[in-house]
């Protein structure tokens, strides 16, 4: 069975957590596409060459979840040649036998416009900043919550205004606002929507 779930949204909205849970529930493969850009950014040097040479092992680096890697990812993601180099990797993953969940910022609009399910996961800026601040604090990074909020807003601006594949909901995406939802409630909503599509 070929069945693609595209989950897009800004940083710290919960799309990664939801994507992993949906993939585990249905036994689908999961790809956090942001890791591709984080890995390219973390490699440094020529971003286009790094994207073309990206290997699965590059996604195992321990520093890919840092704020620094996130900022580098956003910078390299604005380079059209980098995006193009990673498109085929993502599309092949998405349409492989057995079902796949991909989360990112342009899955439903650019990578997999034919995806059977498209979700756009969002939350208020303040809620997202607080979640990201907790993540960073727990990982030992000393950063203020106001600084995290400013970084998130700058990243959102860059991701939504870039010429190549800007972050936006697909026209047929279901909006899932997690601002007031627990993780379990958000996951349940996403699973319910996928089940509805699978039954069709």
What are the pLDDT digits (tens) for 50-108?
999 988 889 889 999 888 898 899 899 889 999 899 998 899 899 999 999 999 999 99
The residue among 133, 130, 107 whose CA lies nearest residue 118 is 107
Q: From CA 186, how far away is CA 120, in angstroms rounded? A: 12
Ligand-binding annotation for 178, yes or no, is no
What are the pLDDT digits (tens) for 95-116?
999 999 999 999 999 999 999 9
Contact indicator for 179, 127 with CB cutoff of 8 Å:
yes
Q: Residue 104 — φ and ψ, nearest 5°?
A: -175, -140
* Residue 187, CB-side half-sphere exposure with 13 Å CA sphere: 14
Fold of 4-194: Rossmann fold (3.40.50)
Ligand-binding annotation for 189, yes or no, is no
Ligand-binding annotation for 9, yes or no, is yes
How many CB atoms within 10 Å of residue 182? 9
Ligand-binding annotation for 113, yes or no, is no
């Amino acid at each position: 069975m070929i069945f693609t779930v595209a989950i897009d949204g800004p940083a710290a909205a919960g799309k990664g957590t939801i994507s992993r849970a949906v993939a585990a529930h249905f036994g689908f493969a999961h790809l956090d596409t942001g890791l591709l850009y984080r890995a390219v950014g973390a490699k440094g040097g020529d971003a286009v060459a790094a994207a073309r040479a990206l290997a699965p092992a590059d996604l195992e680096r321990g520093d890919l979840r840092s704020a620094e890697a996130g900022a580098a990812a956003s910078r390299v993601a604005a380079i059209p040649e980098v995006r193009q180099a990673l498109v085929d990797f993502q599309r092949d993953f998405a349409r492989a036998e057995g079902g796949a969940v991909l989360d990112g910022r342009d899955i439903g609009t650019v990578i997999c416009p034919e995806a059977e399910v498209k979700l756009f996961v969002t939350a208020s800026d303040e809620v997202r900043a607080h979640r990201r601040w907790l993540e960073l604090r727990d990982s030992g990074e000393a950063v203020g919550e106001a600084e995290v909020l400013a970084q998130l807003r700058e990243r959102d601006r860059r991701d939504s205004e870039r010429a190549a594949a800007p972050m936006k909901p697909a026209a047929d995406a279901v909006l899932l606002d997690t601002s007031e939802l627990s993780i379990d409630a958000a996951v349940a909503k996403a699973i319910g929507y996928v089940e509805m599509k699978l039954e069709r």
